[in-house]
Structure 1
Amino acid sequence: MIRVLLAEDQGMMLGAIAQLLDLETDIEVVAQVGTGAEVVDAARASDPHIAVLDIEMPVRTGLEAAEDLRRLVPGCRVLIVTTFAGPGYCRRALDAGARGFLAKDGPVAELAHAIRRVHAGEQVVDPLLAAAALSAGSSPLTTREREVLAAAADGAPVMALAKRLHLSESTIRNHLSSATQKIGVRNRMEAVNKAKQNGWL
């Protein structure tokens, strides 16, 4: 049996996926969690072969949880299943050690097949997403630019961002301006949106 851990913050979706996978004769769902912070403890307790992780989860994202598993539970392979199927997310997932990346809109039979392939040691990525991830390239943002841009996502004014990040207002403006120019948009909210679409935030 292939032992699977599921991590998904939408309870109804989590339960539905678990029920459908349990119908497979060779797959057993051994743990279900609703936040990225629970993934490592659940993996240590249930000893899964595969962790199926959503990207957007509370406390720690699926990408962060994938990195945690790679360091702390290296025997558990990761398959990312998400609605955020942009090329940047795909690249970040693979960089985090994921062995597969699928969009949630596919049938459960496709997920079960991907679980089997990842368990067999293969890498499973939609070919179109893989090509897009390679062509999109890595993030042009520095670590600090990404930090400032992420903090600006809620529309907070520069003064508030400066206090929150313990930087001067001029430094905040410089990082926002640089990030906006690198991404090739007109303002910081467009920069936030495009960076999210590409998986850079």
Structure 2
Amino acid sequence: MVRVLLADDEHLIRGALAALLSLEDDLDVVAEAASGTEALAMARAHRPDVAVLDLQMPGADGVSVATSLRGELPHCRTMIVTSHGLPGHLKRALEAGVRGFVPKTLSAQRLAEIIRAVHAGSRYVDPELAADAISAGDSPLTAREAEVLALAADGAPIAEIAERASLSQGTVRNYLSSAVSKLGAENRHTAVRLARHRGWV
């Protein structure tokens, strides 16, 4: 039996997936979680073979959970299921050791097949998501520029961003200006939108 952990903050989707996967003779859904924090706690308690993680969850996103699991439970293989398969997300997921990256439009039967393949040591990335990632290329932003741009996403003033990032206001302005320039945007708001669209922040 392949022991599976399902983590998704949408209860209906998680419940439906659990019910459909339980129909498979060789898959056993041993735990469910509604947040990244809960997913980590459930993984520690139940030690699943495969963790199927939603990309965007409260507490910690799927990639962060996968990163933690790689360190704590190296035998547990991880998969990301998402409705927002942006190129930057795929790159982060692969760097975190995620073995599967699939859209939520997948059928339960196909998901079961991929869970088995991932458990057996294979890697599966949805071809369309992979093609999008290749065509988008790598992020031109440095880690610090991406961080400052993410902090600017909700319209926070420079002073607040500087405080939250532990930087001077001048440095924050420089990072934002550099990010805007690299993304070919007319202002930081457009830069945030472009970077989010590509999954870079």
- Unpaired stretches in structure 1, ≥5 consecutive residues: none
Looking at structure 2, the residues matched to 133 and 69 of structure 1 have their Cα atoms a distance apart, in angstroms, of 24
| Aligned match of 1:169 | 169
CA contact (8 A) 1:55 1:80 kept: yes
RMSD value, Cα: 1.4
| Aligned match of 2:138 | 138
**Which deviates more, 170-179 or 32-41?**
32-41
- Calculate the TM-score normalised by the size of structure 2: 0.94
| Aligned match of 1:20 | 20
Q: CA deviation at 1:165?
A: 2.4
Work out whether 1:185 is the aligned partner of 2:161.
Answer: no
* Residue aligned with 1:154, SS: coil
| Aligned match of 2:104 | 104
- Calculate the TM-score normalised by the size of structure 1: 0.94
- Unpaired stretches in structure 2, ≥5 consecutive residues: none
* Residue aligned with 2:48, SS: coil
| Aligned match of 2:6 | 6
Looking at structure 2, the residues matched to 71 and 162 of structure 1 have their Cα atoms a distance apart, in angstroms, of 32
Looking at structure 1, the residues matched to 72 and 142 of structure 2 have their Cα atoms a distance apart, in angstroms, of 27
Looking at structure 2, the residues matched to 49 and 32 of structure 1 have their Cα atoms a distance apart, in angstroms, of 14
Looking at structure 1, the residues matched to 17 and 191 of structure 2 have their Cα atoms a distance apart, in angstroms, of 34
**Which deviates more, 52-61 or 157-166?**
157-166
Looking at structure 2, the residues matched to 112 and 43 of structure 1 have their Cα atoms a distance apart, in angstroms, of 19
Q: CA deviation at 1:33?
A: 0.8
Q: CA deviation at 1:6?
A: 0.6
| Aligned match of 1:30 | 30
| Aligned match of 2:79 | 79
Looking at structure 2, the residues matched to 21 and 184 of structure 1 have their Cα atoms a distance apart, in angstroms, of 45
Equivalences, count: 201
Residues 79-127 of structure 1, C-alpha deviations (whole Å, 9 max, x = no match): 1000111222111111111001001112111211111111121111112
| Aligned match of 2:40 | 40
| Aligned match of 1:128 | 128
CA contact (8 A) 1:92 1:199 kept: no
Q: CA deviation at 1:40?
A: 2.6
Identity across aligned pairs (percent)?
52
Residues 11-36 of structure 1, C-alpha deviations (whole Å, 9 max, x = no match): 22211111111111211100101111
Looking at structure 1, the residues matched to 95 and 76 of structure 2 have their Cα atoms a distance apart, in angstroms, of 16
Looking at structure 2, the residues matched to 134 and 74 of structure 1 have their Cα atoms a distance apart, in angstroms, of 28
